[in-house]
Structure 1
Amino acid sequence: MSNLDRQASLTVCGGRGFVVAEPVRELLSPRRVQLGESTEVRRLLPNLGRRMVGAWAFVDHYGPDDIADEAGMQVPPHPHMGLQTVSWLHDGEVLHRDSLGSLQTIRPRELGLMTSGRAISHSEESPRSHARFLHGAQLWVALPDAHRDVQPHFQHHTELPVVTAPGLEATVILGALDGAVSPGTTYTPLVGADLALARGSEARLPLDPDFEYAVLAMSGEAEVDGVPLLPGSMLYLGCGRSELPLRADSDAGLMLLGGEPFEEEIVMWWNFIGRSTEDIAQAREEWMTGARFGVVHGYEGARLPAPALPSTPLKPRGRTR
């Protein structure tokens, strides 16, 4: 998914200097962003308060939206570099096309994982014949320097491992949780899991104390470590936890995001992750001139032009602001 913000700013993220080494409860409020003509998203990362959770560098939550009489998601071809995109749905379908020739419909609880490496472009749209509701999350994982020029590829996994406990079903989207390992390719130690909690349930989820964590509320009413979460909000939890208390007053859906704190500082702008302003400027130029990022075939519409680079100098801000 694209960052369609026409006033995109250069942001420096990463580095261990701003990682919270102990457990905390830091509630992050979303920023509302219009994605195309018909889809509004709630952006949780990067956030005014926190910019990364492990290697997770970008989180959008959208829906549930009634698109029965609308086109739904329509994101034109756009580029990516230095990251992986993770598509995760609770309702609806998204048709993925990319410059490698991939054509795949992603459905609820299926993993769509695109690794950009040095360069890829893709589009995302609701199929012409689609379900009434669209609800999901789009996330980015930053690639470490040793792998940021990896060969681009796309993976689609319909079968994912599940960890269960009374009242809890945890689908492992990426990485590992309680011994269950996702088939999705990762390049840093991390975890992404979809948590389905039954009404009235209480559970304790095992965690890795070396990871930092956050929980995104997707639906329903739930408490995470005693903090009530409304859909579209995210709770940053810091490091040093071996388990996470969960409680649900209704059927609820959450996403657990975590990983080893990302050691490198990265520069993120628009749909690119690099290591310097020069990286970003070169990528923008090569997208605008038609080089490097390939062509997405089959999308009915023009590709997305890049916004202008900001004229102000880059101001490093680390993992927090």
Structure 2
Amino acid sequence: MSNVERDPVETVFPPGDPSAPSGDQSAGLEVLEPRDVPLGGPRAMTVRRTLPQRQRSLVGAWCFADHYGPDDVATTGGMDVPPHPHCGLQTVSWLFTGEIEHRDSLGSHTVVRPGAVNLMTGGLGIAHSEVSTPSTTVLHGAQLWVALPDAHRNAPKGFQHHEPTPIRVEGATLSVFLGTLAGQTSPVDTFTPLLGAEVTLDPGASVALSLDEAYEHGVLADSPGLTVNGTDTPRSAMAYLPTATPTLTLTNTTLDPARALILGGPPFEEEIVMWWNFVGRSHEDIVQAREDWMAHSERFGEVDGYAGEVTHLPAPVIPVVRIRPRGNASRGRRNP
């Protein structure tokens, strides 16, 4: 998915950002509230964005999180994002309901379906389109981005598809699409250690999961009535847990199943600049990426088969001011 905000913000994420306050798991937990972002068009589909924001920029290498739906496609028009570029990042698509047709400049053509992860590596540059299928009546899912480390930010284009087998843990069903959790490991390759998992709790159930204490974690609530380590986490909000948190305890306080996504990774210790659909290391990186995209450079390639009117989504104009560092609004000491 493209970041289609009309005036996207240029943001620098300082090394080691986010920094988490020290203390026990309850003291270090933060609840990140989402903000609504329309995807454009006369019947704009609205997504709820928790990353990035001023309070916290990244969770591990996860640098972007949009939660959307359930949307009635007859009302919103569904998803129709024309060919657009990415560089310096990987996109991770995860659906709860509906289907999205994916095409990219690597030649990949697949349908994203619930319970299957599609990971696309932008690296030096890639382009893709995303369109909800004609059979989709309700669209519901999450679009996530991962920042690539400097050593791999110019990696070749890539695409991976994986359908994890759900497993039962006490009180919940778990699907691990990246990394390892509860004894289940995904075969999908990433350039930094990551965790990505869907968990669905039974009505009124509670589940305790052992965490890698070298990771920080974010729990994105897809349902109301969810508590994370004893803290209420409203639907579409993300609960942030700092490193040195040994256990994640999720509780469903409702009489219906409750679902969440668990994201994690070691704190990302590199300075990055993110603007529109690009991740770089400097203002000049972003300017060059935009120029290459607008010039139809081979760097990004072309997407074949997209049937919409706009076959090359124009990039917004970069502001004349240079990027200035923007850290977390409330900074604390790092965990030891």
Picking from 22, 29, 44, the partner of 1:25 is 29
Matched, 1:151 2:160: no
C-alpha distance in 1 between matches for 2:17 and 2:148: 19
Q: Match of 1:222?
A: 226
Matched, 1:211 2:215: yes
Q: Match of 2:108?
A: 102
Q: Match of 1:134, as an amino acid? A: L
Deviation by residue 1:30-89 (Cα, 9 ceiling, x = unmatched): 111111323100010001210100000000000011114653101111000010000000
| Conservation of the 8 A alpha-carbon contact between 1:58 and 1:139 | yes
Alignment of structure 1 residues 140-289 onto 2, 5 Å: 140-158=145-163, 160-250=164-254, 251-289=257-295
* Matched pairs, number: 319
Specify the SS of the correspondent of 1:268. strand
Distance 1:102 1:319, change over 3 A: farther
Matched, 1:2 2:2: yes
Picking from 125, 132, 138, the partner of 1:119 is 125
Distance 1:13 1:206, change over 3 A: same
C-alpha distance in 2 between matches for 1:283 and 1:207: 37
Picking from 139, 145, 155, the partner of 1:134 is 139
C-alpha distance in 1 between matches for 2:303 and 2:205: 45
Matched, 1:315 2:321: no
C-alpha distance in 2 between matches for 1:21 and 1:186: 28
Distance 1:47 1:172, change over 3 A: same
C-alpha distance in 2 between matches for 1:260 and 1:213: 9
Tell me whether 9-18 or 253-262 shows the greater mean CA deviation. Answer: 9-18
C-alpha distance in 2 between matches for 1:133 and 1:294: 31
Q: Quote the offset at 1:133 in angstroms.
A: 1.0
Deviation by residue 1:160-217 (Cα, 9 ceiling, x = unmatched): 1444322111211111113321121111111011111010111111101111111100
Specify the SS of the correspondent of 2:179. strand
Q: Quote the offset at 1:264 in angstroms.
A: 0.4
Q: Quote the offset at 1:308 in angstroms.
A: 0.5
Q: Quote the offset at 1:12 in angstroms.
A: 0.8
| Conservation of the 8 A alpha-carbon contact between 1:222 and 1:248 | yes
| Conservation of the 8 A alpha-carbon contact between 2:49 and 2:65 | yes
Which structure 1 segments of 5+ residues have no match? none
- Percent of aligned positions with the same letter in both sequences? 50
Distance 1:248 1:147, change over 3 A: same
| Conservation of the 8 A alpha-carbon contact between 2:17 and 2:267 | no
Q: Match of 2:334?
A: none
| Conservation of the 8 A alpha-carbon contact between 1:163 and 1:178 | no
Q: CA RMSD in A?
A: 1.5
C-alpha distance in 1 between matches for 2:21 and 2:213: 9
Q: Match of 1:298?
A: 305
C-alpha distance in 1 between matches for 2:126 and 2:328: 26
Distance 1:319 1:52, change over 3 A: farther
Displacement over 3 Å in runs of 4+? 68-71, 318-321
Q: Quote the offset at 1:17 in angstroms.
A: 5.5
C-alpha distance in 1 between matches for 2:55 and 2:85: 27
Specify the SS of the correspondent of 2:249. strand
Tell me whether 236-245 or 22-31 shows the greater mean CA deviation. Answer: 22-31
| Conservation of the 8 A alpha-carbon contact between 1:215 and 1:255 | yes
Q: Match of 2:15?
A: 15
Tell me whether 216-225 or 76-85 shows the greater mean CA deviation. Answer: 216-225
| Conservation of the 8 A alpha-carbon contact between 2:34 and 2:237 | yes
C-alpha distance in 1 between matches for 2:182 and 2:329: 29
| Conservation of the 8 A alpha-carbon contact between 1:95 and 1:126 | yes
Which structure 2 segments of 5+ residues have no match? 331-336
| TM-score (norm: length of structure 1) | 0.95
| Conservation of the 8 A alpha-carbon contact between 2:54 and 2:326 | no
Q: Match of 2:202, as an amino acid? A: A
Q: Which has the higher strand share?
A: 1
Specify the SS of the correspondent of 1:219. coil
| Conservation of the 8 A alpha-carbon contact between 1:71 and 1:126 | no
Distance 1:319 1:161, change over 3 A: farther
